[in-house]
Structure 1
Amino acid sequence: MLAAYAARQDSSDPINALEVGDIEPGATPADWIDVDLQAAALNHHDVFSLRGVGLPQERLPMILGCDGAGTTKDGTRVVIHSVIPSEGWAGDETLDPKRSLLSELYPGTLAERVRIPAANAVPVPDGMPIEHAACISTSWLTAYRMLFVQAGVRPGDTVLVQGAGGGVASAAVQLGSAAGLRMWVTSRDEKRGERAVQLGAEAAFGSGERLPRKADAVLETVGKATWSHSVKSLKPGGTLVIAGTTSGPQPDNAELTRIFFQQMRVQGSTMGTRAELTQLLSFMTSRGIEPAIDSVRPLDQARDAFAEMIGGTAFGKLVLTV
């Protein structure tokens, strides 16, 4: 079947590790179900996989992709929940130390078909376009959990989101503003900041710019480049939620003195549960939230979409249709 897959590893030129063509998918458990994919979306996780991060040589070739939506054998439209718990795990699947995501141990969603546990098929709400549904299960679910599970904020609170335009950042802006939060963003690009304001952000600031006042919470997915600014922008007793390190995991200054002296909370966050994905879909439907989409391309043009993600020019999600 047609798929976009990691054929090799290349830490310096990840697109060189990408192949788009026919491939026989790897084995999956016999009791999993087939989903015929209609659309899928890219995430930075896919680029990390091409670089060899979390995807060792012995698992190659591997079909990429965590986001996707399609139809089951009986015609039900479903969103793919890509967190795969280990056998016998009960409870919050994101806390399972042996959990994986699609495209790590088992083939992912950038393909004509994917196999998943039946419990990981979440019905698409009536009226939601399939391209929108295909964006939800990774960056949007990550943003939802960061805001409404980990950050501890309430309507009227101010939340700073580092790095306007990324999938998680744009999702957080849309979700937070719809929930009555005052969303601020930072960006190196003034136009990307303006677009974030159009999505619902109250204000956009330059990277590292001093803010008018301290934020109640900060959402951090950039890492090294913005960490110090995130800590300095947080009010005493506030919460910094981190779910990614796209600029690197080792900041020049960890700001440990400021963190303990001002009694800040640093909270890690990874993806979300199936129940949270269901809640997210219901919230988006009730508020009429449509995910910011940068572009929609057919699957056979996946290389162009990857080039856009690697180049950092995309604003919102990059969607591939099957």
Structure 2
Amino acid sequence: MFAIYAGAVSREDPLSCLRVGEIELPSAPQGWIPVAVKAASLNHHDIWSLKGQALTAERVPMILGSDAAGVVDGNREVIVHAVIGNSAGGDETLDTKRSLLSEVYPGTMAQQLYVPAGNLIDKPAEFTWAEAACLPTAYLTAYRMIATKSATGQGDTILVQGAAGGVATALIVLGKALNRNVWVTSRTADKREWALSLGADAAFEPGERLPGKVDAVMETVGEATWDHSLKSLRPGGTIVISGATSGANPPADLNRVFFLQLNIVGSTMGTAAELRELIDLLVRTGVRPVIDRELPMEKGAEAFALMASGDVHGKLVLTVG
């Protein structure tokens, strides 16, 4: 079967571990459903897998990818929810044994994959395959951060730190769809302009003093922006953290946290129920994921090189057939 997979892991040279070609698909757990993949999209998680941060050397070779849309039973069009976990408690992301596709079980960048039946969400006819394949990771993460975790409502202001990343882009698009005022920071003028073109209401340089306090900060950067995030919040405001790309151990500034009664909330991926909510939101509003480009899966190495370079504006999508 044709697939894109990790043949090894290397922190120093992750792209050297990428393989594009034939691989035997391992047998699936009993009861899992085969999906004929039509499109899969890249995330930074895929680069982290090649670095050995999201994938251990003992588990290679491993088919990469956590985002996909495809066909089940010959005619049912579906979006694949990437979180493999027990939802008995109502939230599979809280299952201590949860995993993401491509961490324990083969990922989505292949002609076929297997997932539990509960991980299959019907794809609306309004979505292209590429659009549908963008939703399960970055866009679901962003939706959960705003809609579930931020304690904000319509008309409130959120600050998105580091506006050029995949989740940050989704936060801008979905923030506007959810009727939030969206402010962003970015290091370069062109990325600030791009964020404004997506609908952001204001764009600032990192660390710049804002014209007012915000109700919530969407934090994926970590150490480099943490002080600014704390100082930008109104009393009682919330920082939602789903990543720490610049470092995970900033000065906590606990005096500010307790005196202003700030809320610091972690957020990881999202549930199948939240994915359905996200899909409903996009159908209702007409908003769609931002796609940089679509490439055939055979050009997977090119797509990974683009992702690693950071020179992308939106999602990279790989198509099958």
* TM-score w.r.t. length of structure 1: 0.96
Aligned twin of 2:140: 141
Q: Post-superposition shift, 1:100? A: 0.7
Q: Distance in 2 between matches of 1:216 and 1:194?
A: 23
Per-residue Cα deviation, 1:121-165 (whole angstroms, up to 9, x for no partner): 100112211100000000100000000000010111110001112
8 Å CA contact 2:35–2:113 kept in 1: the answer is yes
Q: Give the 3 Å change call, closer, same or farther, for CA 248–310 of structure 1 in structure 2.
A: farther
Aligned residues: 320
Q: Cα distance, 1:255 vs. partner?
A: 2.3
| Kept after mapping to 1: 8 A contact 2:159/2:182 | yes
AA partner of residue 17 (structure 1): C
Matches within 5 A, 1:37-52: 37-52=37-52
1:1-322 to structure 2, matched below 5 A, reads 1-86=1-86, 89-251=88-250, 253-322=251-320
Indicate how the Cα distance of structure 1 residues 26 and 197 shifts in structure 2: closer, same or farther if over 3 A, else same.
Answer: same
Aligned-partner SS, 1:297: strand
| Contact kept in structure 1, 2:45 and 2:54, CA below 8 Å | no
Instruction: Give the AA of the match of 2:302.
Output: D
SS at match of 1:47: helix
Q: Secondary structure at the match of 2:185?
A: strand
Q: Equivalents in 2 of 1:243, 1:109: separation in Å?
A: 22
| 8 Å Cα contact 1:3/1:112 also seen in 2 | yes
Aligned equivalents of 2:247 and 2:306: distance in 1? 20
Rounded Cα–Cα distance in structure 2 between residues aligned with 1:136 and 1:31: 25
**Structure 1 residue 74: Cα displacement:** 3.4
- Tell me the CA shift for residue 90 of structure 1: 4.0
The two structures, once aligned, show a CA RMSD in angstroms of 1.2
Identity of aligned residues (%): 52
- The aligned amino acid for 1:54 is A
Give per-residue Cα distances to partners, 1:233-288, cap 9 Å, x unaligned: 1111100000011222122x222222122110000001111111011001001100
Is the Cα contact below 8 Å between 1:89 and 1:96 reproduced in 2? no
1:188 partner amino acid? R
Distance 2:259 2:309 in 1: 39
In structure 1, runs of 5+ residues without a counterpart are none
Cα distance in 1 for residues equivalent to 2:305 and 2:231: 34
- Between 1:110-119 and 1:307-316, the stretch displaced more is 307-316
CA offset digits 1:38-74 (Å, max 9, x no partner)? 1111111111111101311111100010001011123
How far 1:228 moved relative to its partner?
1.6
Distance 1:284 1:78 in 2: 16
Task: Tell me the distance in 2 between the aligned counterparts of 1:89 and 1:286.
Answer: 29
Q: What is the TM-score normalised by the length of structure 2?
A: 0.97
The DSSP-based 3-state class of the residue aligned with 2:224 is: coil
For 1:120 and 1:271, how far apart are their aligned partners in 2? 14
Higher mean alpha-carbon deviation, 297-306 vs 88-97, is at: 88-97
Contact 1:222–1:247 under 8 Å retained in 2: yes
Read off the aligned partner of 2:179 and give its amino acid letter: G
CA distance in 2, matches of 1:228, 1:27: 48
